[in-house]
Amino acid sequence: MREAFEERRPLRIGLLTHSVNPRGGVVHTIELAHALHDAGHDVTVMAPATPGQRFFRPVRCATQLVPVGGTPHDMVEMVGGRIEAFTTHLSALVEAKPFDVLHTHDPIGGNALANLQDEGLIDGFVRTVHHLEVFASPQLMFWQARGFRRARQVFCVSRLWQDILGRQHGVDASEVSNGVDSERFGSVPQSADAALALRLGVRTGAPVVLAVGGVEQRKNTLRLLEAFIVLRERRPGAQLVIAGGASLLDHAQYTRAFKALAEASGLSIGRNQSVVLTGPLEDADMPGLYRLADVVAMPSLNEGFGLVVLEALASGVPVVVSRIAPFTEYLADADCEWADPEQSQSIADAIDRALNSRDPTAIARSAARLSARFSWAASADRHAMLYRQGLSRAATPAMQSAKEIFMPVMHFNVRWPDHSETRCYSPSLVVEDFLAVGQSYPLPDFLQRSRDALGIASERVRVKYGFACSQAMDQLAEIEHIATRFDAQPDAQVTVTAFD
């Protein structure tokens, strides 16, 4: 990555994703890889994989599967193990194969690339943030933040997350787009559709409500089930089909609650039953499954973008979505039925409206407009432009001396409620405007002051040198990580002991 950058030659790009399974971020990575490959770039897609695993769909460019194994005890052990595996694999790979761009779509790859950056093996990396999770584990929260704060460039697939990163984390992110393969998804029935319905136990002739992504709290699947129970009072033959569910996160407790509610409501789960949980499906099944649906429901509480919506409309199926961003950024009233994701009655009413007013011509118009706006080729072009901008900035003298930022660096020492002390870094004296030596602050107040001060300090670096200060963001991540130790202490105080 340290070779001289030539502005117009094809780029050597490594794309990292967290899994080989069909999740939204993985789909985005593979489709982006194909579009970049078709545009003439040298692309390699990398993902962790257990023995025998492979990507859920064929990949047209080079791939690297990072070996992971064993059965981790918990999420922290699993994520930590994958970060370590990625770090080891990439350390050898970047020595053997030069990349212009290393671009990750998740915290696992982000932390591995940050490790390589710390070791001097790479000069920087790119991170796309699709959405952020809220984890109970402080370690997972630390890894999530480090995975984008250390990046040279950060991208988002919606203005929602672009704004959140700017407001809450001081990160200046660029918006990039998703896409939809309108040749793969279509409304014309195929001969294999009937066999797929028979194999999965999807009823034909009954209203079929399809949800994609498995049973997850973020997908609001429990409230969707509540809405389906209400819908069944009007449409007794209706069937709820929930497809997918391959996830690294643990949704077992939420799934138990889902099944308990179904049982309490007299709904059977299984093939040809009122509720069908397909589990992970072959990629080739998805276009036909969309066509078997009468409506696709996506009443999510938190989404990065919602690729399912584009795929459903391209398949000629009406959609029900939450009236929240990012959906409100790109969908018009004519494209969908809106629902309040907090109200099961609202979701049920929206599904009923979609079933009653299904208009193939209107759906086709929406699909055509959205597919023209969101194409993978256009997304690849924008990515290539942003990559080149980042590489050009990296080649400037200011970036080459990034580790020697000539600003009035200062440190501030703080004493935590357990009397341990931390010496904290800031690339700017602005900290003195927010904190005072000898002053004690309630923990939430200290955290907000630290966020404000270090966010402004990082922005001052960006204005002067063209890039945010990753050291300031790392320092903030460390402060927030330490602070979680005192969450159970409502009166916790932090004292500033010195400036130097």
- The pLDDT value given to residue 4: 47
- The pLDDT value given to residue 362: 97
CB 316 within 8 A of CB 367: yes
When pLDDT is averaged across residues 54-59 and rounded to a whole number, the result is: 93
Model pLDDT for residues 222-250, shown as the tens digit of each residue: 999 999 999 999 999 999 999 987 666 77
When pLDDT is averaged across residues 33-56 and rounded to a whole number, the result is: 96
Return all residues near 385 (Cβ < 8 A) that are at least 6 apart. Answer: none
- The pLDDT value given to residue 358: 93
Model pLDDT for residues 407-416, shown as the tens digit of each residue: 678 899 999 9
When pLDDT is averaged across residues 200-228 and rounded to a whole number, the result is: 95
Instruction: Give CA separation, 353 vs 86, 105, 203, 211, 420, in Å.
Output: 47, 36, 21, 17, 59
Model pLDDT for residues 291-306, shown as the tens digit of each residue: 999 999 999 999 989 9
Edge-first strand order for the sheet with 239-243 is 275-279, 239-243, 208-212, 295-298, 319-322, 337-339
Model pLDDT for residues 119-145, shown as the tens digit of each residue: 999 999 999 999 998 888 888 898 999
- Of 222-231, 378-387, 458-467, the range with the lowest mean pLDDT is 458-467
Please determine whether the domains at 12-179+377-395 and 192-374 fall in the same fold group of CATH: yes
DSSP-assigned letter for residue 325 = T
CB 481 within 8 A of CB 150: no
% of the chain residues with pLDDT over 90: 73
- The pLDDT value given to residue 98: 92
The strand ranges marked E within 8-54 are 12-16, 42-49
CB 334 within 8 A of CB 366: yes
When pLDDT is averaged across residues 297-324 and rounded to a whole number, the result is: 96
Give dist(CA 137, CA 134) in Å, integer: 9
Give the number of other CB atoms < 10 A from CB of residue 460.
Answer: 18
Q: In the structure, what pLDDT confidence band is assigned to residue 472 with cuts at 50, 70 and 90? A: confident
Question: Distance from CA of residue 174 to its chain's centroid?
Answer: 15
Average pLDDT, the chain: 91
% of the chain residues with pLDDT over 70: 95
When pLDDT is averaged across residues 22-42 and rounded to a whole number, the result is: 94
- Of 292-296, 321-325, 474-478, the range with the lowest mean pLDDT is 474-478
CATH code: domain 192-374 is 3.40.50.2000
* Phi then psi dihedrals of residue 242, to 5 deg: -115, 115
Domains of the chain, by residue range, sit at: 12-179+377-395, 192-374, 410-499
- What tokens does 83 get? 């970060």
CATH number (2.60.40.10, 3.40.50.2000, 3.40.50.1980, 1.10.645.10) of 12-179+377-395 reads 3.40.50.2000
Edge-first strand order for the sheet with 174-175 is 62-67, 42-49, 12-16, 101-104, 126-129, 153-156, 174-175
Residue 438 pLDDT exceeds 90: yes
Q: How many CA atoms lie within 13 A of 13 on its CB side?
A: 32
Residue 404 pLDDT exceeds 50: no
Q: Is the pTM of this model over 0.85?
A: no
- Of 24-38, 62-76, 193-207, 312-326, the range with the lowest mean pLDDT is 62-76
CB 130 within 8 A of CB 24: yes
Residue 403 pLDDT exceeds 70: no
Q: In the structure, what pLDDT confidence band is assigned to residue 394 with cuts at 50, 70 and 90? A: confident
Residue 399 pLDDT exceeds 80: no
